[in-house]
Every structure is written in C-alpha cells, then in structure tokens.
Amino acid sequence: MIDQVLARHNATLRVKVAVKTLISVGIIALAVILPQLVHLALGADGGMKWLPMYLPVLLGGCLLGWMWGLGVGILSPAISFAITSLAGNPMPAAIRLPYMIVELAVFAAVSGLFSHRIAENGWMAFPAVLLAQVAGRLVFLLIAAIFQSVSPLSAVVVWSQIQTGLLGLVLQAVLVPFMVMGLRLLLKNNKE
C-alpha cells in the first residue's frame, strides 16, 4: 500500500527506501513495546491470549508488502528478544524464538502479498489478515510437529497455545483491517 502512495508522488528509490525503513523501524518498535505493555498489565498469560506482537507485524505486512513485511516479521521477535534479554527477562522465551520468527515471517509475508490489492480496495485487508493468521498458525503447528522430538514445544502444546490465542486473533482480524483502511483513507485524502 505504501508503494502506491510513493509511486503517486514519484518518489525516488532513495526516498522509497528511507520511508519504508522509517515505517519498518516504527512497526518493529511497536512490536517490542506493545507486548511489554500487555505483559505489564495482564501478566505472561496476557501475551499468550492477546498475541500483542502479531498486530504490528500484520499491519506491517499490509502496509509495506511482502518483502518489507517479511523483514519486519523476522526482526520483530529477534529484536524484542535481544532488547528484553538485556533486561533479564527475554520475550519471547528463547525456546519459542525460532518458532515465532518463522510464524511472524509467514504472517507478514502473507498479509503483504495483498498490499497492492489493499491499496485498490481497503476491504481486501480482511482476507489478507485472515489468510495470514491461518497460514502463520498452521506453519507454527507444522514446525512444532516436525521438531517435537528435539524440542519441548510439541504439536499438542502448540495446539493448546493456538486455542489460547484465538480471542487475540479474532480481535486482530477486526482491528488490523480497520486500521489499514483508516490509514488508506487518510493517505488517499492526503493526495486530493
């Protein structure tokens, strides 16, 4: 979606990269801060239920497209882990980090595949987010099933986590598309 806005303004490659970098940094910062706030207010169980890091990553995919979204999906949990490890309380937990990197990369890449369509029709954010959520959670479950003999995260444990996070996914399936449509409308009105 941001690509279309930049193209409309005949932005140079340097400007496009700078704008997407700034947006990516902001989204990654939100993906680090939002889980901290949720954990502070609701405890560790709040993170498993509301999945606060997923919201900015889905937003990043819808806005930035699949390539930049993929970067946001990979970097968000990795940077969050690095920063929170310095404070002595790594989030996500080290055992969950590789799974979360892959899962969020899928979330962002799949939602990012719809970015051009969202620019044309904001309602496309709904299928973008829903398909991203289903694909990401399925990949999480599949990876857990493949590696359960060498990891404490078995398919049964992951299935339980998926069920715990359903309410958060449903909320994000509504919030993210409306946020994207609002930003789209704002950017569209800005051109006129």
DSSP string of 94-157, one letter each residue: TTTHHHHHHHHHHHHHHHHTTHHHHHH-GGGHHHHHHHHHHHHHHHHHHHHHHHTTTSS--HHH
- Percent of the chain exceeding pLDDT 70 equals 98
Please write the tens of the pLDDT for every residue from 71-126.
999 999 999 999 999 988 899 999 999 999 999 999 999 999 999 999 999 999 99
Residues 6+ apart with CB under 8 A from 86: none
Residue 191: per-residue pLDDT: 56
DSSP code at position 91: S
37-45, long-range: CB < 8 A, 24+ apart: 39/91
Domain 2-191 in CATH 1.10.1760? The answer is yes
Tokens (6 digits) for 112: 């990012």
Higher pLDDT, 115 or 8: 115
Phi/psi at 74 (5° precision)? -75, -45
Quote the CA–CA distance of 69 and 162 in Å, as a whole number.
Answer: 22
The ranges assigned to domains in the chain are 2-191
